[in-house]
A = this chain, B = another copy of it.
Amino acid sequence: MSRTRLWLFSAIAIAILSTAVLLVFYSKNTQSLARAQDTNNDFSRKNIVGGHTPGYSILETSGDVLDPVSVNVTIKDAVVDPMKYLREFNYGKVSKLPNGTTLREFTLVASDDKVKEISPGVFYNVWMYNGTVPGPTIRATEGDLVRINLINNGSKSHTIHTHGIHKAEMDGVFETVGPGGRFIYEFTAEPFGVFPYHCHMQPLEEHIVHGLYGVYIVDPKTPRPPADEMVMVMNGYDTDFDTENNFYTVNGIPYYYMHHPIQIGKNQLVRIYLVNMLEFDPINNFHLHANLYQLYRSGTSLVPHEYTDMVTMSQGERGILEFNYKFPGQYMFHAHKTEFAEKGWMGLFLVKDATPATGGPAYNSTTTANNMTANIVSQSQPVSQKRGGET
């Protein structure tokens, strides 16, 4: 089209320009309404985000982020209790095989029809193992026989793919477990380290981003030194289905540990089992404030790989972080990818002079809980299928 012709249409254009502005205005409003309806079922209000430093002004946001630092809203139907999850290690139902090997049995129930609150006022269809995102932390010692009973209570096929060494048929890839189905995974716990487990059904990104993952820890036969041990899973939620995350968290709820700082003791060795299960984004990272940690990549070594305050992980990567604080006070930990931090992936350690009431050596790796299977199942939905494989 020639420039001359274009200018002939300019008179018409002026009239249209005004209406175009109106259209944009109208469509924006429509979008906002649609979004509000998606994520916020019971009330319509402006979303605000506060500064993470006292005195910083409150700002309106796009609706993706609710900052519990300034706006402490209680979550009613949370996808997980992050404080409980933090230090809860499930050692399974323990028995001895005739050859002396320790058998640990776990039961994981997959569901995919629940809508839970992942951030105040934001409801999301989460797919879960045992009713939480992340699923329960499973823990064994190198050489144990691990048996995981998968019960699929969902309406889609699911599996459990565990990182670590095992037979092909125990890999949770080709052995589809349909709705109502079940499967018994059995393998020797090896090598020692920290591993993700997750559903491996296609489309993989949906099964992961909706929440079907958890942490599997294999302790070395000679246990690591006693410590205040905790699990941290880095994840995100794509609540508007555009293959970009709207929320980022550690342990399931954005900003949770900003509201509820993790209490640890001064000069107490802290050991974090850190796993990155973030979908869509190429990497995630973990920055510890005012301190450095010994980093054991993949947890497969007893000698640290690096002494740092920053580690970068792509999906499925993980490690063990060890540190202690020598001064009391509040310290942040968060993604150093600013976007992730600002959309929820940040938290606080509260270092106390005395040994904290929660945490501490009571949670270290030498403790064995023999009756965790029941606990796991009780967290989940009623199971209509009879479970197999339990002694």
List the interface of chain A (C-beta within 8 A of B): 1, 5-6, 9-10, 12-13, 15-23, 25-26, 51-56, 157, 161, 163-171, 173-174, 176, 191, 193, 200-205, 208, 243, 279-283, 285, 287, 289-292, 297-298, 300-301, 305-310, 312-318, 326-332, 336-339, 341-342, 351
Contacts and interface: CB of A to CB of B under 8 A. Distances in A.
A176 B9 contact: no
B292 A300 contact: yes
Residue of A20, A305, A308 with most partner-chain B CB within 10 A: A308
A9 B18 contact: yes
Contacts of A336: 314-317
B19 A13 contact: yes
A296 B333 CA distance: 24
A9 B13 contact: no
A332 B173 contact: yes
A342 B204 CA distance: 8
A201 B53 contact: yes
A336 B169 CA distance: 20
A350 to B, nearest CB: 10
Contact of A314 (B52, B291, B307, B337): B337
B171 A331 contact: yes
A311 to B, nearest CB: 8
A248 to B, nearest CB: 13
A22 B51 contact: no
A285 B300 contact: no
Contacts of A317: 285, 308, 310, 312, 336
Contacts of A166: 290, 327
A170 B290 contact: yes
B52 A202 contact: yes
Contacts of A56: 157, 176, 201-202
Contact of A298 (B17, B310, B318, B331): B310
A194 to B, nearest CB: 11
B15 A316 contact: no
A150 B51 CA distance: 21
A339 B205 contact: yes
A314 B283 contact: yes
Contacts of A170: 290
Contacts of A13: 19, 22-23, 26
Contacts of A331: 168, 171
A176 B305 contact: no
22 contacts: A5-B18, A9-B15, A9-B19, A10-B19, A12-B19, A52-B202, A56-B202, A165-B290, A167-B329, A168-B290, A168-B327, A170-B290, A193-B307, A204-B338, A205-B338, A292-B300, A297-B306, A297-B308, A301-B307, A309-B316, A312-B317, A317-B336
